[in-house]
Chains A and B, each alone.
Chain A
Amino acid sequence: MSRLAKRFASLARDGRKALNTYIVAGDPVPEATVPAMHALVAGGADLIELGVPFSDPEAEGPTIQAGIERALAHGVTLGDVMDMVSAFRRDDRDTPVVLMGYLNPFLRMGYEDFCTQAVAADVDGVIVVNLPPEEAGTFQEALRSRHMDLVLLVAPTTTAERAAYIAGQGSGFLYYVSYKGVTGARHADAADVAKRLTGIRAVAGGLPVLVGFGIKDGASAAAIAPHADGVVVGSALVDTMGSTPVAGIGNRLKAQVRDIRDALD
């Protein structure tokens, strides 16, 4: 069983919602990332989504763009990101880590090379914002043959028929984008999300559905969570990474995640 499947099975057993936390690898400095990942887990995160810096992040709002720029100022590459996951794994064998980014760095490394290194680093899967399932074939095969997951996204504009197709193509979990727009732009509207999620969960074939975009704190997480298998928090954490002196990041992240965890449970 994959690390993601194991984690979702144990959450289901306990009747708890998944808390998935996103930070940008290398933000604000490369040394901050591994301690920050441990702080997320200490605060109660069930999954970590590690952002792979890319020069042209066309679906990100200003907060995550700024986090990516801070990382790129240190020349953080996809190879570096996997080294960070390896280092994290020395002390944490259980928390699933999914890399989230844009296709070009993966393409440039080569899917085979990436998969080899990702397996060695114990990466559990990838989310590629600009890779819809129609374009994913080769990468998906490479990932699947190494038992890594390709997590796919469903948007408010996705038709019901297409949502079923996407659910059939993806693995790990299904990522529902709560609103039309870039990351960090708005609050997720619980009523909208609830309306859409009933249909999506019906076609998800047992794949857990997590909701991301616009979930910033305990209140917004608690409003969305009843309709889903879990939530994703990103911009709010990246904001903390950018506005906190490096030495203080761990404690602040842990407290921030703890608040959201408490609201969920």
Chain B
Amino acid sequence: MSRSNRVPYEAPTDDGRFGDYGGRFVAETLIHALDELTRLYASVSRDSAFQAALARELKDYVGRPTPLYRADRLTEHAGGARIYLKREDLNHTGAHKINNTVGQAMLASRMGKTRLIAETGAGQHGVATATVAARLGLECRVYMGSEDIARQSINVYRMKLLGAEVAPVNAGSRTLKDAMNEAMRDWVTNVDNTHYIIGSVAGPHPYPMLVRDFQAVIGNEAKEQCLAAEGRLPDLLVACVGGGSNAMGLFYPFVDDDGVDIVGVEAGGEGLGTGRHAAPLNAGTPGVLHGSRTYLMDDESGQIAETHSISAGLDYPGVGPEHAFWKDLGRARYASVTDDEALAAFRVLNQTEGIMPALESSHAVAWTLREAARRPREDIILVNLSGRGDKDIHTVAAIDGIEV
């Protein structure tokens, strides 16, 4: 179908559906808060003063635009297509997460909420939430699985320095999904004065939509920057997928650009065949968790499976519903790389470009290295480098047998 007569992509529907996915599968107590958030978001979307204030925040506080960097030595190492990195690691606090927390904090202020809560896996979203809470003088509580507290200790301390309370979660697999359960329980209890800043394009409507929109600044900038640098759009976009916010932020502005291929990279853990991974789009089935219908890792009786990834930010059994929709539509493909491949890519990027990626982002780099080698030199691959890797130094050092 030619682009000119194709209907532009539009999702979700008013009730939050992306095809068969998404929706609002929550306890009745939360419906009112979700309605309020949906209404407010619709009004600020049309409010040019709000949009201008958000743009100012992103420029002056977050440090946007982030560069689109041509990684020549990485390209040479892979031996094929030209690789560009969208440097979300250079944002204030070191990852893309703050694009969303700045926006949601503005919504929280408009609603007169005095308290912010968040779930976090790698700690980047927790840090980004604690940061905006400090800036606005709001109370902040971040839920984090005790397993993640152990492996992301630097970010835990950062959150405390920012004045946030970090609440350890000992239930279930003690990772991101359990932190999200506990954050939902807090929200049900304190919904009058509290805004829940969900950190990815997951959760009940309107979260997948509004987090996508706040993160779309990544793709909008990248598109302009690629046109300026190369005079054309990239051939391929690559991003890692945990809940899917950095990926959707890059991908969404390109959805109607049919010539641009899109690949999301999930955490293959110890390999898809071992069951020890976090790749629901590759190896899961549709189900309902945390407010939306989407691909999940569960067992045959519907219990949510325990996941594994070396990267805390990808260690989650679900995924944003819009990615589920895009998978079924065929608008994006979803691949996976293992822990070992991600680690190798972490080292390669350090040593070829002097850039230390987060272990999450290293998954996108790892798959790109494989794919670039198969593509001609004229091709352009644009990779979202979602965050920096300082938080992961302990994990990598432990693997190297070094105590830091």
Which chain A residues lie closer than 8 Å to B285 at the CB level?
108
Q: Determine if A218 is an interface residue (Cβ-Cβ < 8 Å).
A: no
A181 to B29, CA, bound (A): 8
Q: A132-B26, A155-B28 are in contact. Are A59 and B188 (CB under 8 A)?
A: yes
Q: How far is the CB of A253 from chain B (nearest CB, A)?
A: 26
Q: Are the C-beta atoms of A108 and B23 separated by less than 8 Å?
A: no
Q: Mark B279-305, 1 if CB is under 8 A from A, else 0.
A: 000000101111100001010111110
Q: Determine if A129 is an interface residue (Cβ-Cβ < 8 Å).
A: yes
Contact residues of B between 173 and 187, Cβ < 8 Å to A: 177-178, 181, 184-185
Q: A77-B301, A130-B291 are in contact. Are A180 and B188 (CB under 8 A)?
A: yes
Q: How far is the CB of A147 from chain B (nearest CB, A)?
A: 24
Q: Are the C-beta atoms of A182 and B304 separated by less than 8 Å?
A: no
Which one, B288, B291, B302, contacts A78 given CB within 8 A?
Answer: B302
Q: Are the C-beta atoms of A104 and B189 separated by less than 8 Å?
A: no
Which chain A residues lie closer than 8 Å to B178 at the CB level?
56
The residue of chain A having its C-beta at the shortest distance from the C-beta of B296 within the complex is: A104
Q: Are the C-beta atoms of A181 and B298 separated by less than 8 Å?
A: no
Q: Determine if A97 is an interface residue (Cβ-Cβ < 8 Å).
A: no
Which chain B residues lie closer than 8 Å to A134 at the CB level?
15, 23-24
Q: Are the C-beta atoms of A108 and B291 separated by less than 8 Å?
A: no
Q: Determine if B172 is an interface residue (Cβ-Cβ < 8 Å).
A: yes
Size of interface on B: residues with Cβ below 8 Å to A: 37
Which one, B27, B192, B288, contacts A155 given CB within 8 A?
Answer: B27
A162 to B296, CA, bound (A): 31
Q: How far is the CB of B399 from chain A (nearest CB, A)?
A: 30
Which chain A residues lie closer than 8 Å to B302 at the CB level?
54, 78, 104-109
A107 to B32, CA, bound (A): 25
Q: Determine if A55 is an interface residue (Cβ-Cβ < 8 Å).
A: yes
Which chain A residues lie closer than 8 Å to B177 at the CB level?
56
A132 to B32, CA, bound (A): 12
Q: A105-B302, A130-B291, A157-B29 are in contact. Are A58 and B24 (CB under 8 A)?
A: no
Which one, A131, A154, A166, A182, contacts B188 given CB within 8 A?
Answer: A182
A102 to B304, CA, bound (A): 12
Which chain A residues lie closer than 8 Å to B290 at the CB level?
56, 58
Q: Are the C-beta atoms of A104 and B29 separated by less than 8 Å?
A: no
The residue of chain B having its C-beta at the shortest distance from the C-beta of A76 within the complex is: B301
A159 to B181, CA, bound (A): 25
Q: Mark B18-36, 1 if CB is under 8 A from A, else 0.
A: 0000011111111111000
Q: Determine if B229 is an interface residue (Cβ-Cβ < 8 Å).
A: no
Counting chain B CB atoms within 10 Å of each CB, which of A77, A104, A185 scores highest?
A104
The residue of chain A having its C-beta at the shortest distance from the C-beta of B177 within the complex is: A56
Q: How far is the CB of A8 from chain B (nearest CB, A)?
A: 22
Which chain A residues lie closer than 8 Å to B189 at the CB level?
180-182, 185
Q: A78-B301, A104-B304, A130-B291 are in contact. Are A58 and B27 (CB under 8 A)?
A: yes
A132 to B16, CA, bound (A): 14
Contact residues of B between 299 and 340, Cβ < 8 Å to A: 300-304
Q: Are the C-beta atoms of A104 and B288 separated by less than 8 Å?
A: yes
Which chain B residues lie closer than 8 Å to A156 at the CB level?
29
Q: Determine if A158 is an interface residue (Cβ-Cβ < 8 Å).
A: yes
Q: How far is the CB of B333 from chain A (nearest CB, A)?
A: 26
Q: Are the C-beta atoms of A59 and B24 separated by less than 8 Å?
A: no
Q: A56-B304, A182-B188 are in contact. Are A130 and B29 (CB under 8 A)?
A: no
Q: Mark A201-232, 1 if CB is under 8 A from B, else 0.
A: 00000000000000000000000000000000
Q: Determine if B85 is an interface residue (Cβ-Cβ < 8 Å).
A: no
The residue of chain B having its C-beta at the shortest distance from the C-beta of A162 within the complex is: B31
Q: Are the C-beta atoms of B289 and A158 separated by less than 8 Å?
A: no
Q: How far is the CB of B29 from chain A (nearest CB, A)?
A: 4
Q: Determine if B171 is an interface residue (Cβ-Cβ < 8 Å).
A: yes
Which chain B residues lie closer than 8 Å to A126 at the CB level?
none
Q: A104-B287, A158-B31 are in contact. Are A181 and B171 (CB under 8 A)?
A: no
Contact residues of B between 100 and 130, Cβ < 8 Å to A: none
Contact residues of B between 186 and 245, Cβ < 8 Å to A: 188-192
Q: A134-B15, A157-B191 are in contact. Are A129 and B301 (CB under 8 A)?
A: no
Q: Are the C-beta atoms of B172 and A55 separated by less than 8 Å?
A: yes
A71 to B239, CA, bound (A): 39
A51 to B181, CA, bound (A): 18
Q: How far is the CB of B176 from chain A (nearest CB, A)?
A: 12
A103 to B300, CA, bound (A): 14
Q: Are the C-beta atoms of A108 and B29 separated by less than 8 Å?
A: no
Q: Are the C-beta atoms of B27 and A153 separated by less than 8 Å?
A: yes
A57 to B180, CA, bound (A): 11
Which one, B25, B190, B298, B304, contacts A131 given CB within 8 A?
Answer: B25
Q: Are the C-beta atoms of B181 and A56 separated by less than 8 Å?
A: yes
Q: Are the C-beta atoms of B301 and A132 separated by less than 8 Å?
A: no
Which chain B residues lie closer than 8 Å to A152 at the CB level?
28
A59 to B189, CA, bound (A): 10
A110 to B287, CA, bound (A): 11
Which one, A53, A54, A132, A180, contacts B31 given CB within 8 A?
Answer: A132
Q: Are the C-beta atoms of B29 and A132 separated by less than 8 Å?
A: no
A154 to B29, CA, bound (A): 8
Which chain A residues lie closer than 8 Å to B298 at the CB level?
104, 108
Which chain B residues lie closer than 8 Å to A132 at the CB level?
24-26, 28, 31
Q: List 10 A-B contacts (CB under 8 A).
A: A58-B184, A59-B27, A60-B185, A79-B301, A103-B288, A104-B289, A108-B300, A134-B23, A180-B189, A181-B29
14 extra A-B contacts, CB within 8 A, seeds A56-B177, A58-B185, A135-B25: A56-B181, A57-B181, A58-B181, A102-B288, A132-B25, A134-B15, A153-B27, A155-B27, A155-B31, A157-B191, A162-B31, A180-B188, A180-B192, A182-B188
Binding site for B on A (CB under 8 A): 53-61, 65, 72, 77-79, 102-109, 129-132, 134-135, 152-159, 162, 166, 177, 180-182, 185
Binding site for A on B (CB under 8 A): 15, 23-33, 171-172, 177-178, 181, 184-185, 188-192, 285, 287-291, 296, 298, 300-304
Closest 5 CB pairs of A and B: A108-B302, A105-B302, A77-B301, A155-B29, A181-B189
